[in-house]
Homo-oligomer: A and B are copies of this chain.
Amino acid sequence: MKFISTFKEKTDYQQNEHEKLVMLLNVTRNISREILLDRLLLLIMDEVKRVLDCDRCTVFIMDRERNELWSQVAHGAKEIRIPGDRGIAGHVAQTGIVLNIPDAYADDRFNPSIDKKTGYITRTILAVPMRNKMGEIIGVFQALNKRKGSFNNEDEELLNTISVIAATQIENAQLYKEQKKTFESLVETLASTIDARDPLTAGHSKRIAMYAENIAEIIGLSHQEKEILRIAALLHDLGKIAVREAVLTKEGKLTTKEFEHIQSHPRFTKRILDNINFSSALSQVPNIAAAHHERLDGSGYPFGLRDDQIPKLGKILAVVDVFDALTSKRHYRDRMEFDKVIKQLYISSGTHFEISYVDALLQFPLDKLVSIMEQENKWGLDEKHLAFLSSFTISDVYQALSQENPGDDQKELMSVFQIYYLREYLAESV
C-alpha cells in the first residue's frame, strides 16, 4: 500500500505501534478479499499464525443446532467437529471469556485427546470468542504454541481485534454460501421433480450431471466450466414441463407427431432458461442446456447447429445424455446391452458426437459408473464389488464384452459388472 510506506522516522516504541497498525490493516485487507467460506477460514488462520508468531491457529464456528464447534482443515476437505461445550474452545464459546493459558497440561479445562491422537504437544493456548454485530458468540479463535514464551496482553488485544474484523467477513461468506446452496438445491430438486413425472426417467438429470462431472475431471475442465456444465446438465430437460404428459409417458412406440412434440423440449428448455437472470458466470447455461440434442453434422435439433456452432459443454451433454438413455430402462425397451451402447457411441462419433468426449467416457472408472447408474435403485451396492471394479474402466469392460474368447480376468470383470447392469431396476417411488 503506497500510503503506508510514506511513514518514516519513528522511535522504537512508535515503530512497534505503527507496525501493528499496518499489520492489522493488511490482515483486514487480505481477509476482505475472500468470499468463499472455506478459503476465507484458511486465510484467516494463516494470517493469525503469522501475526501472533505462533505454531497454529484454528477458527471454530459455532453450530448451535448440533451444539458443536467446527473448523475447516484444508481446501475442499471435510471440516473437523468438536463438542460445543468442552475443552478450551468450548469453554470460551460458552462463557465468552478470553483464556490465555501458559501451560495447557496444567489446566483442567484442556482436553488432551487430540494431542494423543496426533502426537502434537500443546504448550500455550490463547482463545478468544468471536462475536457478531449483535454481540452473540458465533465462534472461537484459538492460537496454539507461541514461538517465543507465552501469549501476552498485546497478543490478546490483537486477536480480539482480528476476531471482530473477521466475524463480519465470516458471516458474509456464510450468507453467500447459504445462498449458493439454496440455488443449487432448488436446481437439483427441480431436475429430479421433472424427471419424476415419468418414473422411468427418475434420476436421469442427476445422473447425467454426475457423468458430465466425471468427464470434466478426465479432460481437465476449469472449476467454472464444471459448474456451468453441472447446472446445464441438471436443467437440460426443464422444457419437458411443457411436453404433454400423455406423450411423455406413453407406453410403446410414438407416432411421428408425438415424436416431434417431444423433440420440442430443448427449445422450451432454452425459452424457460432465457427468462432466468443467470449470474455472468452462468450466462451460457441456457445455450448449453438447449444443445444436448444437436449433432456435429447439423442433423440434430432444435436448431440444427453444426460442429463449431455447438458449445463445447453442450457436446459433452449430448454424449452423456444418450449414454444414460441407452443404459436406462425405457417404456419401449430394456437397457441396451452394454457393448452395443459403446459401439453405438463410436459409430456415431464424428457425425453425432465429438469423439474425444466418447474417448473420455471410456476412461470412466467402473466403480463410479456403477454407483451413478444404480443410485436410484433401491438395491444396494456391494463394497467388495466396488473395490474390485475401481481398477477397471468402461474401456476394459467393453473390450471384455467384445471378445470372442475372453480371458479369465475378463470373465470375472464381466460377471461382476453384469450383476449390476443386468439386474432388475427398482426405483424409489415418488
Which A residues are within 8 Å of any B CB, using their own CB?
Answer: 1-4, 6-7, 10, 14, 17-18, 20-22, 24-25, 28-29, 32-33, 35, 133, 157-158, 160-161, 164-165, 168-169, 172, 175-176, 178-190, 192-194, 196-197, 238, 241-242, 244-246, 272-273, 275-282, 430
Distance between A100 CB and nearest chain B CB, rounded to angstroms:
15
Q: Once the chains bind, are B182 and A3 in contact (CB under 8 Å)?
A: no
A157 to B21, CA, bound (A): 17
Number of copies: 2
In the complex, chain B residues whose CB is within 8 Å of the CB of A184: 277
Contacts of A241 in B (CB 8 A): 193-194, 197, 241
CB-defined contacts of A17 to chain B, threshold 8 Å: 7, 18
Give the docked Cα–Cα distance between A180 and B277 (Å): 10
A54 to B276, CA, bound (A): 42
Q: List 19 A-B contacts (CB under 8 A).
A: A3-B24, A21-B22, A28-B29, A28-B32, A29-B164, A175-B176, A179-B179, A179-B279, A182-B276, A182-B279, A185-B276, A185-B278, A189-B276, A193-B238, A193-B241, A193-B272, A196-B242, A241-B241, A244-B245
What B residues does A193 contact at CB under 8 A? 238, 241-242, 272
Set of chain B residues within 8 Å of A133, measured between Cβ atoms: 33
Which residues on B sit within 8 Å (CB–CB) of A242? 193, 196-197, 430
Expressed in whole angstroms, the minimum distance between the Cβ of A262 and any Cβ of chain B is: 15
Main secondary structure of the interface of A (DSSP, over half): helix
A290 and B280 CA atoms in complex are apart in Å by 33
Known: A186-B186, A242-B430. A3 touches B272 (CB 8 A): no
Give the complex CA separation of A133 and B197 in angstroms: 46
Q: Given the complex of chains A and B, what is the CA–CA distance between A17 and B5 in angstroms?
A: 11
Contact A176 B178, beta carbon cutoff 8 Å: no
| Cβ distance A27 to chain B, nearest Cβ, rounded Å | 10
How far, in angstroms, from A76 to B164 measured CA to CA in the complex?
29
